[in-house]
């Protein structure tokens, strides 16, 4: 057993599933708090799990009582409860303060600004009115991105405002989603991401990757980022590490960035947990983002060399499609491809756009990896106009 400590996780989706796959190899016990039969619980048979919602007080308390270190696979959790259990002496990693600051994307931006970390300029709406948007668009210019402060993922809390005529539809679309803020439009050349690991000994980083989003959902990740100089690659890693260093506690963090036309880098957002843009590390690096998270929160050794890329890697998400089994067709097609690793998350029912699995291809060169993955990209795009 690599650690005597038991890990408790709020949430048991695909990130938890891949976390426990890494934990199993080290005989580390992981308790999940989520619905019975959730993705992560399916691959972890023991009596320590808690069934229920990770937003419920009693359930969180129960998980904490059964675990030595409490962590999260989703940031949309009850941080008052995490604060309470931390005050009772439970080890919460990363800190509830980090999760509370990051889960509110506007607070996250203010925190980064306070620490001098370059990120997209933001302004909050005092009230969700056209008048406020008039004022803010005067400051930040148009287009701008209107965003929900909380509970956002896969772009669902975002609305791109191109002209003043979009003000009303933006508020109609997001107005009911609580407090809003606006971000200056990032006219980016590429989107980059870096997984960062914060341990008791310091801050380490995986390579800089390129992410391609479609309909605001991550579709592809290229590691390393294509056509990006060594300097920018390094600068992105440094910026990501600088950002993570200003938060409290230990663990893995996903840092999303924009590379602007003038090569300036700005942080888009941070996730205080394993991240979609780090799935490639399972096959691509000696230690995956999941194992790195466990090592960080359990104070086990970790070296920068463990996080270096072994071979160029491309990850393609398998999303739910029009038919309930569309994602299975993609997986079956992927079985025919060479050098392709398939991960299915055991979520059962597919909804359009729901993350059902992913594929990773590693090859000695990026162009080989690109050639190998192309039939799969063509397959998932087959019905596109
Ligand atoms: P996630 O699933 O990554 O948590 P999210 O719902 O939090 O997504 P964001 O990361 O804020 O959404 O935005 C989703 C995508 O929208 C970004 O990856 C980027 O393509 C685009 N986007 C976001 N903010 C801006 C901006 N300020 N300017 C231009 N494009 C943006
Ligand atoms: Mg987000
Ligand atoms: Mg994002």
User: How many Å apart are CA 284 and CA 290, to the nearest integer?
Assistant: 13
What pLDDT is recorded for position 385? 77
Cβ of 16 below 6 Å from ligand 1:
no
pLDDT, residue 119, reads 98
Distance (Å, whole) CA 14 – CA 282: 13
Residue-wise pLDDT for 10-59, tens only, equals 999 999 999 999 999 999 999 999 999 999 999 999 999 999 999 899 99
How does pLDDT run across 301-334, given as a tens digit for each residue? 999 999 999 999 999 999 999 889 999 999 999 9
Q: What is the dihedral of CA 104, 274, 322, 348, to 10 degrees?
A: -110
Maximum distance among all Cα pairs of the chain, rounded to whole angstroms: 61
- Name the closest ligand to CA 211: 1
Nearest CA to ligand 1 atom 2: 154
CB distance 129 to 171 below 8 Å: yes
Length, in residues, of the chain = 385
Q: Give the rounded percent of residues in the chain with a pLDDT score beyond 90.
A: 94
Look at residue 315 in the predicted model and tell me its pLDDT: 98
Contact between 319 and 353 (Cβ < 8 Å) = yes
- Average pLDDT on 350-372 reads 97
Quick one: pLDDT at residue 84? 97
Would the CB of 213 count as within 6 Å of ligand 1?
yes
Task: For residue 174, give the ligand nearest its CA.
Answer: 1
Query: How confident is the model at residue 25, as a pLDDT?
Result: 97
243 lines ligand 1 (CB under 6 A): no
Confirm or reject: Cβ of 162 under 6 Å from ligand 1.
no
Instruction: Note the Cα 288 to chain centre separation in Å.
Output: 14
Closest CA to 90 of 1, 197, 10: 10
Over range 354-358, report the average pLDDT.
97
Atom from ligand 1 closest to the CA of residue 211: 18
Specify the residue for token string 């997209």.
Answer: 120
Torsion of CA 86, 110, 268, 129, to 10 degrees: 110
Tokens at 344, concatenated: 């299915």
The pLDDT tens digits of the residues spanning 138-173 come to: 999 999 999 999 998 999 999 999 999 999 999 999
Q: Give me the pLDDT at residue 64, please.
A: 98
- Could you tell me if the CB of 151 is within 6 A of ligand 1? no
How many angstroms does the Cα of residue 153 sit away from the middle of ligand 2?
5
| Phi/psi of residue 364, nearest 5 degrees | -60, -30
Nearest CA to ligand 1 atom 12: 155
Determine the atom of ligand 1 nearest the C-alpha atom of 120: 27
**pLDDT digits over 105-122, tens only?**
999 999 999 999 999 999
Nearest to 132 by CA among 104, 171, 184: 171
Q: How confident is the model at residue 123 (pLDDT cuts 50, 70, 90)?
A: very high
Ligand nearest to the CA of 153: 1
H, E, C per residue of the chain = CCCCCCEEEECCCHHHHHHHHHHHHCCCCEEEEECCCCHHHHCCCCCCCEECCCCCHHHHHHHHHHCCEEEECCCCCCHHHHHHHHHCCCEECCCHHHHHHHHCHHHHHHHHHHCCCCECCEEECCCCCHHHHHHHHHHHCCCEEEEECCCCCCCCCEEEECCHHHHHHHHHHHHHHCCEEEEECCCEEEEEEEEEEECCCCEEEEEEEEEEEECCEEEEEEECCCCCCHHHHHHHHHHHHHHHHCCCCCEEEEEEEEEECCCCEEEEEEECCCCHHHCCHHHHCCCCHHHHHHHHHCCCCCCHHHHCCCCCEEEEEEECCCCCCHHHHHHHHHHCCCCEEEEECCCCCCCCCCEEEEEEEECCCHHHHHHHHHHHHHHHCCCCC
> For residue 151, how far is its CA from the centre of ligand 2 (angstroms)?
8
Q: Is 327 left (phi over 0), alpha (psi -120 to 50) or beta?
A: alpha
In a 13 Å sphere around the CA of 216, the CA atoms on its Cβ side amount to 12
Mean pLDDT of the chain: 96
pLDDT(255) > 90: yes
Q: What is the pLDDT of residue 384?
A: 81
Instruction: Choose the weakest-confidence range: 280-289, 322-331, 369-378.
Output: 322-331
pLDDT digits (tens, 9 = 90+) for 195-254: 999 999 999 999 999 999 999 999 999 999 999 999 999 999 999 999 999 999 999 999
Position 349 scores a pLDDT of 84
Cα(153) to centroid(ligand 3), Å: 7
Measured in Å, how far apart are the chain's first and last C-alpha atoms? 52
CA angle (178 as vertex; 173, 180 as ends), nearest 5: 75
CA of 8 to the centre of ligand 2 (A): 23
Is pLDDT at 176 greater than 80 in this prediction?
Answer: no
pLDDT of res. 175: 81
Ligand nearest to the CA of 275: 1
């Amino acid at each position: 057993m690599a650690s005597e400590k038991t890990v408790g996780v709020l949430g048991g989706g695909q990130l938890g599933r891949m976390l426990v796959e890494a934990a199993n190899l080290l005989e580390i016990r992981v308790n999940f708090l989520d619905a019975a039969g959730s993705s992560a619980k399916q691959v972890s048979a023991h009596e320590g799990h808690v069934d229920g919602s990770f937003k419920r007080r009693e359930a969180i308390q129960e998980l904490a009582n059964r675990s030595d270190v409490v962590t999260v696979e989703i940031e949309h959790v009850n941080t008052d409860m995490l604060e309470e259990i931390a005050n009772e002496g439970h080890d919460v990693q990363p800190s509830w303060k980090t999760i509370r600051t990051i889960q509110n994307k506007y607070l996250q931006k203010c925190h980064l600004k306070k620490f001098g970390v370059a990120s997209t300029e933001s302004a909050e709406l005092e009230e969700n009115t056209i008048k406020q948007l008039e004022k803010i668009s005067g400051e930040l210019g148009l287009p701008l991105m209107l965003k929900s402060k909380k509970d956002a993922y896969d772009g669902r809390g975002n609305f791109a405002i191109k002209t003043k005529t979009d003000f009303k539809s933006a508020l109609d679309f997001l107005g009911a989603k609580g407090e809003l803020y606006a971000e200056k439009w990032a006219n980016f050349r590429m989107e980059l991401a870096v997984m960062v690991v914060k341990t008791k000994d310091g801050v380490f980083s995986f390579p800089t990757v390129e992410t391609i989003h479609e309909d605001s959902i991550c579709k592809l990740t290229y590691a390393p980022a294509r056509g990006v100089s060594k300097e920018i690659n390094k600068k992105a890693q440094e910026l990501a590490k600088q950002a993570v260093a200003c938060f409290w506690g230990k663990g893995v963090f996903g840092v999303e960035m924009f590379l602007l036309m003038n090569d300036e880098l700005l942080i888009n957002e941070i996730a205080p947990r394993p991240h979609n843009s780090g799935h490639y590390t399972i096959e691509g690096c000696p230690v995956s983002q999941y194992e790195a998270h466990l090592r960080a929160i359990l104070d086990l050794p970790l070296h920068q060399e463990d996080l270096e890329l072994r071979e160029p890697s491309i990850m393609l998400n398998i999303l739910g499609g029009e038919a309930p089994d569309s994602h299975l067709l993609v997986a079956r097609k992927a079985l025919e491809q060479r050098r392709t690793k398939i991960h299915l998350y055991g979520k059962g029912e597919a909804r359009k756009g729901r993350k059902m699995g992913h594929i990773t291809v590693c090859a000695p060169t990026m162009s080989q990896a690109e050639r190998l993955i192309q039939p799969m990209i063509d397959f998932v795009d087959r019905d596109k106009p």
